[in-house]
């Protein structure tokens, strides 16, 4: 039996009216008991107000949109009570004792009394049931409201935490990017050495991948707290090579940390050749790293984690399976929701982030739970044809790059300055270094530079002031801002006409510098040809 809100409101209104009439009848009966009023007067005083209340309720039931069932039951109840009141009035008039139908001696009266009593009893019982049901509905509504309020409160708490995290992350990301810059720069310089052994090159490449991955995580953290989805570096990705690096990148988690906890975890690889996929290697590396981390957490007693790679139609499929405790059907259905976690100490963002990255790559991710026998996470990514992969631009090696440009780099961090000196030495390009903006502007006035690099956040004369001063003095001199802040925040520093020609986010890679140098060198050649 389903009731509407109007039904419940009308039932409560009728209940209040009946309660008022009951009190009025009680007062009249008390007056009759003490011979204050005659029985006939009591009956009339009971009948007239009741008639007025019943008529008003009947009229009100027609105005509001109550269900037909409650309207009929109410009318039966009112008719039954009103008829019984009329019969009670006749009991107090002796002259009506032998009158047909209404007289006390009439057999028809007795039948009517039984029918009326039955009518008001069952209709009244229905109304009472309706009251109880409406109370239950109110209780459920109240509980749902309390749950919604609690959820909203928790969401607000999480939002405040994320806001505080964002404020901290902004500064931390800048410092971490500065810290990563020397590591990335020196590793790329070492990899430029052609005399490295295969094992040395493999270790350096893995270290460089780890640093690049860390930089991508920092960048994504900035996008997360700013609520933005900045485009990633899209290129053909060799999944077999990428997945083969995951065990080494995650070894501190599945080997070292697990051993400290008394667990023994083994990682197995089953990698088949697949065509390349089009996407961001750093973001896909984040996906598989998180999946391995989750698999480690899901094997509290140790076990085996398997990474499988195989082609399937026009897609490449990576499966990460474990022999851990698995997940229930409810956990499987909710595992991609933000902030949902089966581990109290975790944020519940790992699988949500993985889901977002895979969907941005046009792929699909799903979980097959086998509780208590582990889980399988299946990631399917669309592949690109070999022609598209072969047509991807090939990065020039440092030794093949040749430029006679004269450059200046303004940077207040000594470690970053030394790292860039090494990078430009590998490129064979002269680079002057200076530690502050004021000294840099003095060198710009004194020398004929082809390109100026500058940090943004510096004490005294900052990078924005350097750009403005250089552009006013030499409008055609290219200025490149290299900053640990994200590009979106760097652009906020420049609101006037003087804008940097290029922006490079730290940690700057050899490829980033080469692209800028190539663009500037091409511009210099065009200018020289125009003069001749």
In whole angstroms, what is the distance from residue 249 CA to residue 207 CA?
A: 9
Pair of tokens at residue 86: 């009329």
Cβ-defined contacts of 389-392 (< 8 Å, 24+):
389/236, 389/275, 389/276, 392/235, 392/236
Domain residue spans of the chain: 5-148, 236-390, 399-531
Lowest mean pLDDT among 172-176, 261-265, 375-379, 458-462: 172-176
More reliable by pLDDT, 481 or 135 = 481
Residues 173, 218: contact at Cβ < 8 Å?
Answer: yes
Strand blocks (E) in 424-499: 431-434, 451-454, 479-483
In whole angstroms, what is the distance from residue 100 CA to residue 209 CA?
A: 106
DSSP three-state, residue 314? coil
194 DSSP β-pair partners: none
More reliable by pLDDT, 312 or 49 = 312
Domain 236-390 falls in which CATH fold? Answer: Heat Shock Protein 90 (3.30.565)
- Does residue 437 carry a pLDDT above 60? yes
The percent of the chain in helix, strand and coil, each rounded to the nearest 5, is 60, 15, 25
Strand blocks (E) in 44-188: none
Summarize pLDDT for 73-114 with one digit per residue, the tens: 666 766 666 666 666 655 555 445 555 455 555 566 666 666
pLDDT of amino acid 88:
63
Please state which of the four CATH numbers 3.40.50.10170, 3.40.50.300, 3.40.50.2300, 3.40.50.920 is assigned to the domain occupying 399-531: 3.40.50.2300
CA end-to-end span of the chain: 94
Pair of tokens at residue 326: 């698995």
In whole angstroms, what is the distance from residue 247 CA to residue 215 CA?
A: 19
Residues 506, 454: contact at Cβ < 8 Å?
Answer: no
DSSP three-state, residue 404? coil
- Does residue 348 carry a pLDDT above 60? no
More reliable by pLDDT, 201 or 134 = 201
Pair of tokens at residue 133: 């049901």
Residue 454 pLDDT level (bands cut at 50, 70, 90): very high
- Does residue 61 carry a pLDDT above 90? no
- Does residue 132 carry a pLDDT above 60? yes
Residue 444 pLDDT level (bands cut at 50, 70, 90): very high
pLDDT of amino acid 257:
86
Residues 392, 386: contact at Cβ < 8 Å?
Answer: no
pLDDT of amino acid 95:
46
In whole angstroms, what is the distance from residue 249 CA to residue 235 CA?
A: 21
- For the packed helices 350-360 and 281-297, what is the interaxial angle rounded to 10 degrees? 150
- Does residue 500 carry a pLDDT above 70? yes
Tell me the pTM: 0.52
More reliable by pLDDT, 79 or 308 = 308
**Pure H helices in 192-270:** 198-226, 239-249, 251, 258-260
In whole angstroms, what is the distance from residue 430 CA to residue 461 CA?
A: 24
In whole angstroms, what is the distance from residue 513 CA to residue 519 CA?
A: 10
Positive or negative: CA dihedral 137, 140, 146, 151: negative
H-run or E-run covering 26: helix 5-33
Residue 230 pLDDT level (bands cut at 50, 70, 90): very low
pLDDT of amino acid 207:
86
């Amino acid at each position: 039996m389903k009731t509407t809100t109007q039904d419940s409101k009308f039932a409560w209104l009728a209940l209040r009216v009946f309660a008022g009439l009951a009190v009025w009848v009680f007062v009249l009966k008390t007056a009759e008991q003490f011979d204050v009023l005659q029985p006939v007067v009591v009956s009339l005083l009971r009948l007239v107000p009741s008639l007025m209340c019943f008529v008003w309720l009947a009229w009100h039931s027609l105005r509001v949109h109550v269900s037909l069932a409650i309207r009929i039951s109410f009318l039966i109840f009112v008719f039954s009570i009103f008829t019984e009141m009329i019969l009670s009035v006749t009991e107090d008039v002796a002259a009506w004792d032998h009158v047909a139908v209404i007289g006390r001696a009439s057999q028809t009266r007795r039948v009517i009394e039984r029918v009326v009593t039955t009518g008001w009893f069952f209709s009244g019982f229905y109304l009472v049931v309706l009251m109880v049901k409406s109370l239950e509905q109110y209780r459920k509504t109240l509980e749902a409201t309390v749950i919604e309020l609690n959820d909203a409160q928790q969401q607000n708490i999480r939002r405040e935490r994320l806001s505080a995290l964002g404020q901290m992350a902004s500064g931390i990301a800048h410092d971490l990017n500065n810290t990563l810059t020397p590591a990335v720069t020196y590793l790329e310089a070492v990899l430029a050495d052609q005399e490295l052994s295969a094992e040395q090159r493999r270790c350096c490449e893995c270290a460089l991948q780890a640093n690049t991955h860390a930089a991508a995580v920092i960048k994504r953290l900035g996008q997360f707290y700013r609520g933005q989805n900045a485009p990633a570096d899209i290129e053909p990705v060799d999944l077999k090579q990428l997945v083969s690096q995951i065990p080494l990148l995650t070894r501190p988690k599945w080997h070292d940390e697990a051993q400290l906890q008394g667990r023994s975890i083994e990682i197995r690889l089953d990698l088949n050749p697949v065509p390349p996929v089009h996407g961001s290697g750093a973001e896909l590396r984040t996906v598989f790293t998180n999946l391995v981390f989750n698999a480690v957490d899901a094997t509290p007693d140790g076990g085996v984690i398997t990474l499988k790679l195989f082609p399937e139609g026009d897609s490449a499929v990576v499966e990460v399976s474990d022999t851990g405790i698995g997940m229930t059907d409810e956990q499987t259905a909710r595992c991609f929701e933000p902030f949902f976690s089966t581990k109290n100490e975790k944020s519940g963002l790992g699988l949500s982030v993985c889901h977002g990255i895979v969907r941005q790559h046009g792929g699909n991710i799903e979980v097959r739970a086998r509780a208590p026998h582990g889980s399988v996470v299946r990631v399917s990514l669309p592949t690109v044809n070999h022609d598209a992969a072969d047509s991807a631009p090939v990065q020039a090696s440092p030794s093949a790059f040749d430029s006679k440009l004269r450059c200046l780099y303004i940077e207040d961090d000594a470690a970053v300055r030394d790292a860039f000196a090494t990078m430009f030495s590998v490129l064979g390009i002269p680079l002057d270094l200076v530690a502050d903006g004021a000294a840099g502007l003095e060198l710009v006035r004194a020398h004929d530079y082809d390109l100026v690099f500058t940090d943004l956040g510096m004490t005294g004369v900052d990078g924005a002031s350097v750009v403005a001063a250089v552009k006013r003095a030499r409008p055609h001199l290219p200025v490149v801002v290299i900053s640990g802040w994200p590009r979106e925040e760097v652009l906020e520093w420049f609101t006037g006409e003087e804008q940097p020609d290029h922006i490079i986010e730290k940690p700057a890679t050899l490829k980033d510098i080469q692209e800028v140098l190539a663009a500037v060198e091409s511009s210099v050649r065009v200018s020289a040809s125009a003069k001749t």
